Structures are given as C-alpha cells and as structure tokens.
Amino acid sequence: MNSQLAKKKKVFVGLSGGVDSSVSAALLKKAGYEITGVFIKGWHPDWGPCGWQEDRLDAMRVCAHLGIPFRDLDLSREYKKEVVDYMVSEYKAGRTPNPDVMCNQKIKFGAFFDWVMAQGANFVATGHYAQTQNLKRKTQSYSSKLKISKDLNKDQTYFLWTLTQHELSRTLFPIGHLIKPAVRKLAKKFGLPTAEKKDSQGLCFVGKVDLPDFLSHFLKPKKGKVLLASNEVEGNGNEKEIGWHDGAFFLTISQRHGFTITQKTPADEPYYIVAKDVKKNTITVSQGTKRLNLKAKPFCPVLLRDVNWISGALPDFKKIYLARFRYRQPLQEIKIKSCSSQTTTSLWQSDCLQIEFQNPQGAIAPGQSLVIYTKTGECLGGGIIV
C-alpha cells in the first residue's frame, strides 16, 4: 500500500469480528492510514443464532489491540428490509436469490458506505478477497477496475458485481493480494485476538442457518408432489409422481436434498431438482448429474435484468468474455448480446442482456446472479437471471 497515499487519509474499516477484516485493519494502520473500526449490526431474529454479540466483542478487542477507535452502526432495519424481505419474496416467487449480493449492494456498500462518507472519511475498507486497480482517466474512460483476488479459492468478486465507480473508487480491499494462509500468518504476527478464529459461514450477518427452517418463519410449509422427469419414465413419457416435499419455494434447481422419494429405482442414484412450478407446488427431479445438462445447448441465450457495468460503460460485445452464475463455479466462455439494437451507447445500466454460453450449461435458475469477467481477471459487472 502506498504510504504517501495513506498520509492523513481517514479509513473506516468494516470489522466483522473475523480474521480477514482484522488483518485488513492492521495492514491499513501499518501503512499509515487513520483508522476507525466499525461493527455493523444486522438483523437477527429471536429464533436464530445469536453469535453477533461475540463477533462484536472480537471487533472491539481488535480495535483495542491496534489502538484505534471503535464504532457501532445499527443497520438492522435496513438489513431486514433490503436483504431478508427481498430473499423471502424471491423464494416465494420461485426464484433463487443471492442475499450476499444484496447485502453488499444495500448494506456494506450502501447504507454503511453512505454513513462512512458522511463521517468525513476518505475510504471504506472491508476484508473481501478482491482487488482494485486505479487507472488514469487520460488513458481510460473510468478510474477503477475490480479484479479477482490472488486467492482464487476465496475470491469474492462474484458478490461485488453491483459496485459502481462511486463506491469502488473510494474502497480498499487490503487483503486482496494475499492468500488465506498468508492472512492467518499475518494475524499471528500482529498478535490479533482473532488469529485462530474459524471462518464464518452462512447467510451474511445472520450466520449459519438451515434455509428451509429460516424460510418457514415467513412462508407456510405446503405439501406438494415430487415428479420424475418425463424422459426417465418408461412407457407414455409423462411425468410420474414419486415423492413429496414441504413447499416448492423452499427448494432450488440442482438441489438434491429437501424432498422425500417414496418410490425408489434399481439405479439408486441421487435425484436432482431440474424444474419446479411454484403455482402448482411441484418439483421435477432427475437422476444423475449428467442429466442436469439434457436441456442445455451451446449458444442457448440466458436473459439478464438489472444489469450493472462497474466501469460505467458497455464492453465490446464483439469479444468473448467469461462468466459464472454460482460462487466458485469455473468460469465459462460467453458472448454478450443486447436485447435491443442499441449496443454502442455508453450506459451504466442496461434493461436487458442476452448471454450465450459457448458450452452447455445446466441448473441455471432464475434469480441467480450471473457475473461477467475478462480473460485477464477483471470483473466487469453482471445481472440477475430472468
């Protein structure tokens, strides 16, 4: 980190109580920034896990150890409205939402970012595994790029595709150039109280929860039919009822748990959800992972809505790009086409895009985020699968 840049620069670090954000704060202080640690309180139901109190204490301990100010920020109301309500409504409609994307957009780089800027800070910093690259406007039409982290297994750019130049140009990712073992090593070197703490898992701010159980507090379970895919039914080829489930809105495409099969087959292979109908409250299943790709074809278009380009400009649609529609999924080659004829207009957002995969893809579910990359590791943006 540039020590000259750090002089007299105020940075508010989002401290989760974990090792990644703790090391981020330590590195920024070492670089000479004026650091303030902030613990963001999200929404936590009475019936859910309550580990946030311990996380807050750990964040306080880190600040005390580093000798930096500690602040609390209660964003529970915003989190309930923007993340939880969104997630429940998407599942109710039969789509597969990504609450971590919404958490970053509306909370960490929304309400938290705005609050930090109102406090007079120069930068926001988080423990995300991502990198930024600043460019001179004389040579580029934008000033900041979002790049994948050095640790490809931990890279979190998939959850950051909604960022714009407004947020990215004033955001620091201090550990994006490191791999996880190096972060752990630094935590011990700095003597941080979180050095041995296990990585957090589960829903952003809420923690590790059983999704059907979580949703059952908002959506009433409703018994429905499990149907065997018609191509696997002997005889007339119609779908056949082979089991039951507690509600199609609790389940998602490619899932292999959460339903009961009452009519087993000699093959005894696992069943995967390949389709669902929320209105009829049915799910359709198929055996074997290869069967998930039966309906997938090269160049079969996937439509995106709510598209965001981080640079503020459309990319060159003549090029081949890479994309993923699940976290940690291997990147896939794609072509991008506009749903309209105006493909040369410089826009921050586009109403609709067509994504054509160069190889067959399976288990693509509406509501998921599809995130687009260059072959050099830049995250260009993304959209929501229709």
Look-up of token digits 């959506």: 219
Provide the residue type at 197 as one letter: K
- CB-count exposure of residue 60 (10 Å: 0-12, 13-18, 19+): middle
Q: Parallel, antiparallel, or unpaired: how do β-strands 240-245 and 224-228 relate?
A: antiparallel
Which residues are CB-neighbours of 127 under 8 A, at least 6 positions away?
A: 14, 16, 18, 20, 21, 22, 23, 24, 174, 175
Catalytic residues: 103, 204
Backbone CA torsion sign across 157, 174, 208, 185 = positive
DSSP 306-374: EEEETTSS---TTS-EEEESSTTPPPEEEEEEESSS--SS--SEES-EEEEESS------TT-EEEEE-
Q: Tokens for 29?
A: 């202080």
